[in-house]
Structure 1
Amino acid sequence: MKKKKTIIMGSGFSSLSASCYLAQAGFDVTILEKNDTIGGRARQFKKDGFVFDIGPTFYWMPDVFESFFNDFKTSTTDFYALQKLNPAYKVYFNKDESIAIEDNLEKIKSTFENIEPNSGKALQKFIKKSEDNYNIAIKDLVYNPGESVFEIVNWETITKSGAFLKTIKNQVAGYVKNKSLQKILEFPVLFLGAKPSNTPSFYNFMNYADFELGTWHPMGGMYEVVKGIEKLALSLGVKFETNRSVTSINLEGKQVKSVSTAQQEYACDVLLSGADYHHTETLLPDAFKQYSELYWDKKTFAPSALLFFVAFDKPIEKVTHHTLFFDTDFEAHAETIYDTKTWPEKPLFYASFPSKTDAVAAPEGKEAGIFLMPIAPDLEDTPEIRAKYFDKLMTRLEDTIGSEVRSHILFKESYCVNDFKDDYNSYKGNAYGLANTLMQTHILRPKLKSKKVDNLYFCGQLTVPGPGVPPSLISGKIVSELISKYSKS
């Protein structure tokens, strides 16, 4: 029997995942990637012996990665080495107050208890609820394709309906009163791309991922995960072609017959896009687009980001592998992202120093620093604005750690809204997809299967289950099951 020819646009985590499942199911799979390396947002920047992950830097939910590789009778250990971080991360609230989150719940409870009496016991109860929600979400709900509301309306979710009506912010305030501890419990929801005050408390399952499953680092960087999945995909027969930007989707009736690039035309029986959903639909005639420009414009997008990749000629003190600078008002910063859509005056930011853990990241005696500031999508992006905020971030870093770092910078590179648009055709230059608000959950997200083109499918952070690397791996799995289901019918 002839294998169905499947073209996948883009090579991010969801596309890589789908390619493996489809190849395993007997499809002839070719991935077309517009950039010169695969991985989508999860690429690397290398210079003068320094290695920076351009995209994701947090390795959370290790069970999802393990489950993916187990589906192919392999393990993460066959492809890369993991190290659990201790501390998982450190949070600065000002230069005199910081909290380090250690590598197991008992230690974290002690940290909480030292700051607020009885908060350790409260945290235990909170994490138990978080674990219950994690088991419902990760072991059941997120593996549904979002075709019917009854995928999420069942006895377990009905009995937890309050978890969809109360917000993370309200729930957290019911467990701990200390503002710094509240911020730590609200922090993981930022990975879902929404405000704690606008995210259903059901999503507290991210706290279980944080405190119980831990924060890990793939030695060599997150790109080692990309390389691992690529190796698996190649062993299954997947073909990769880079520098292949799809310029048109060619239809016959309601069927995709081929896609065109500058180099050639690729015939296909199935087209799966792991590229930006909005961009993909711009390659279709108007009559075959599912979602209007107004639809996309009204959606609540997760933030974009201003990133800096900085090489230092010496180790940076008083920071850990992952360090969060929450020394300004989070609500005020969040307001600039989701409400006023302006550049923030006093931004929060995150810094990763992978060379604290991984010798590959920087030459001996030197430090690699990745700085990320979340911002609203589609902001004006100029060299002058980038320089202004780099100065702000370095000033805050120096004030917080109490030492001068600017004279120790060997080089720096920046990445922002315009780069997200240019490199990934990202709608409004967003970095993380659609926010996981109540009105953008599950069936209310853009569909995996086109309603207007019979053999066109989508995966990735703009569809189900949502933003983040683990959800992207899951998105690749569920769309491949959907393709297999409809290809047989």
Structure 2
Amino acid sequence: MSKEVVVIGSGLAGMSCATYLAKKNYRVRVLEKNSTYGGRLQSFSQDGFTFDAGPSWYWMPDLFDSYFNDFGKKTADFYKLTRLDPGYRIYFNENEYLDVSENLDTLKKKFDKIESGSGESLQNYLDDAGEKYRVAVEKFIYKPSLSALEFMELDLLKRLGRLNLFKPISKHIREYFKDPRLIKLLEFPSLLLGAKPSNTPALYSIMNYADLSLGTWYPNGGIRAIATGLYQNALDHNVEFLFNHPVSKIETKNDIVDHILVHDKKINCDIVVGGADYHHIENHLMDEKNRNYNDNYWDKRTMSPSSLLFYLGINKELDIPHHALFFDTDFDKHAEEIYDKPQWPKNPLFYVSCTSKTDINVAPKGSEAVFILVPVAPGLNDNENSREIIFQQIVNRLENALGTNIKDSIVFKRSYAHKEFISEFNSYKGNAYGLANTLFQTAIFKPRIKNKKLTNMYYCGQLTVPGPGMPPSLVSGKIVAKQIIKEHA
């Protein structure tokens, strides 16, 4: 008789895990507190505009391909991809920017114009990053990280030194480049990893390889199309989804989970996978005696930033590409306001996504659908006044950079920050990306995928291995499914 698995949460990790288990003939039900699937990969439409509400960067297409290939499918069976060129634009000040070309030879020439010889340095840097990427994918990211012994493979040990685990990426980049503009460009993915470059291991130069070598892509239909692809794949494997089913308690008997409570209704199960926020599952759904980690543990974690988001419908066209980074202010000061002295930033860096440059269906003709993201510290006092102060400042900077009035052309506006991350996703401190990828929050130092006290309780998602982001979430689901299959065949 098939074992019954309950997965809490229908984000990418939860759907990934559910489908891998269903493929092996487990009976899988996914309990989702919200009214639809996808976790943070939501979208919404208003006044003729359509916005992806959460993630917006499509990197590491090989990992998406690997996921769908595991089910005898191709990514193209679910959605089509367009490679963006430029991948993005980075503004160094109001009057200077660099379009990051998808053609590496073209980009190397642009680097040389900024810093003599840096084109060759870029090639050498990416060659090194590419080797790390291959080691990470082949030997590192698919491990459950329950024991350091998992990493005691001879081939991995031979290549471990090249991973630069103990060197900060800030130092690593400066060994290749001197110009602060190029350094900014190469340090920017560390913001996506949720840590200061000085605290991020140089291993994560793999993100530069993902960016500059593997390319920046856009799924036709928007990022939401990814969630829809996973949802359809899950349905094809007979995964059952129960929406509007918030779990209120994980009930145990001896050393196992016995059943789940939803609206005081008992749902029996043999195995439970927590695909929702790890902290929420343990601190709000489980008895203290059964938790892997106490409040003191979580208080000492370095969380990734939260995000202040603005969704704007603008009734004019803007001279801006699909992705644009505004690094025209002090990177270090902004990082200090996120990590060292948490506060609303006074002069923040920000990111703009203008999907209407690629997808004509997301805005009326002659208009733009614009998404703005400002990294901010988690756990702040989120209020409308603080949001609006930052909004006015960044729109002024955007107007100056583009040389056009924007405020008078805004016909739709919505904001989103800590309050919404908490209410919609039970996100710890309103964080956006999970734990920061510092050395001592990598691999075996991350929260475990398996409960230490309950033999049938597991966890997947961005707060456990391998880490934050869409591709790692797919991998997380696979890791946990393989562990369950190994232990509960």
TM-score, L = length of structure 2:
0.98
Deviation at 1:263, TM superposition (A): 6.5
- Give the aligned partner of residue 203 of structure 1: 204
Matched, 1:392 2:393: yes
Q: Do the aligned partners of residues 113 and 200 (structure 1) sit closer, same or farther apart at CA in structure 2, a change above 3 Å counting?
A: same
Q: In structure 1, give the amino acid aligned to 2:196.
A: K
Matched, 1:32 2:23: no
* Alpha-carbon displacement from aligned partner over 1:117-139 (angstroms, at most 9, x marks no partner): 10001111100000000000022
Structure 2 matches for 1:30-179, cutoff 5 A? Answer: 30-154=29-153, 155-157=155-157, 159-161=159-161, 163-179=164-180
Q: Verify the 8 A CA contact 1:104 1:214 in the aligned structure 2.
A: no
- Give the aligned partner of residue 6 of structure 2: 7
Q: In structure 1, give the amino acid aligned to 2:314.
A: F
Give, in whole Å, the separation in 1 of the partners of 2:263 and 2:11.
21
- Could you say what secondary structure the match of 1:451 adopts? coil
Give, in whole Å, the separation in 2 of the partners of 1:48 and 1:396.
26
Q: Verify the 8 A CA contact 1:442 1:465 in the aligned structure 2.
A: yes
Q: Do the aligned partners of residues 156 and 487 (structure 1) sit closer, same or farther apart at CA in structure 2, a change above 3 Å counting?
A: closer
- Give the aligned partner of residue 382 of structure 2: 381
Give, in whole Å, the separation in 2 of the partners of 1:25 and 1:330.
48
Q: Verify the 8 A CA contact 1:168 1:204 in the aligned structure 2.
A: yes
- The 10-residue stretch of structure 1 (293-302 or 392-401) with the greater mean CA deviation from structure 2: 392-401
- Could you say what secondary structure the match of 1:217 adopts? strand
Give, in whole Å, the separation in 1 of the partners of 2:157 and 2:309.
38
Q: Verify the 8 A CA contact 1:20 1:232 in the aligned structure 2.
A: yes
Q: Verify the 8 A CA contact 2:146 2:448 in the aligned structure 1.
A: yes
Q: Do the aligned partners of residues 244 and 385 (structure 1) sit closer, same or farther apart at CA in structure 2, a change above 3 Å counting?
A: same
Aligned-pair RMSD on alpha carbons? 1.1
Deviation at 1:449, TM superposition (A): 0.7
Q: Verify the 8 A CA contact 1:141 1:151 in the aligned structure 2.
A: no
- Could you say what secondary structure the match of 1:467 adopts? coil
- Give the aligned partner of residue 193 of structure 2: 192
Q: Verify the 8 A CA contact 1:87 1:100 in the aligned structure 2.
A: yes
Give, in whole Å, the separation in 1 of the partners of 2:233 and 2:265.
27
* Alpha-carbon displacement from aligned partner over 1:197-226 (angstroms, at most 9, x marks no partner): 111111111111111100000011000010
Q: Verify the 8 A CA contact 1:244 1:263 in the aligned structure 2.
A: no
- Give the aligned partner of residue 468 of structure 2: 467
Deviation at 1:430, TM superposition (A): 0.5
Give, in whole Å, the separation in 1 of the partners of 2:28 and 2:429.
30
Q: In structure 1, give the amino acid aligned to 2:118.
A: S
Give, in whole Å, the separation in 1 of the partners of 2:159 and 2:61.
28
- Give the aligned partner of residue 301 of structure 2: 299
Percent of aligned pairs sharing the same letter: 45
Q: In structure 2, give the amino acid aligned to 1:213.
A: L
Q: In structure 2, give the amino acid aligned to 1:262.
A: H
* Alpha-carbon displacement from aligned partner over 1:378-426 (angstroms, at most 9, x marks no partner): 1010111111111111111011111110000001001000111111111
TM-score, L = length of structure 1:
0.98
Gaps of 5+ in 1: none
- Give the aligned partner of residue 450 of structure 1: 451
How many residue pairs align between the two structures? 486
Q: Do the aligned partners of residues 228 and 263 (structure 1) sit closer, same or farther apart at CA in structure 2, a change above 3 Å counting?
A: farther
Deviation at 1:350, TM superposition (A): 0.4
Matched, 1:367 2:368: yes
Q: In structure 2, give the amino acid aligned to 1:76.
A: T
Deviation at 1:48, TM superposition (A): 1.8
Gaps of 5+ in 2: none
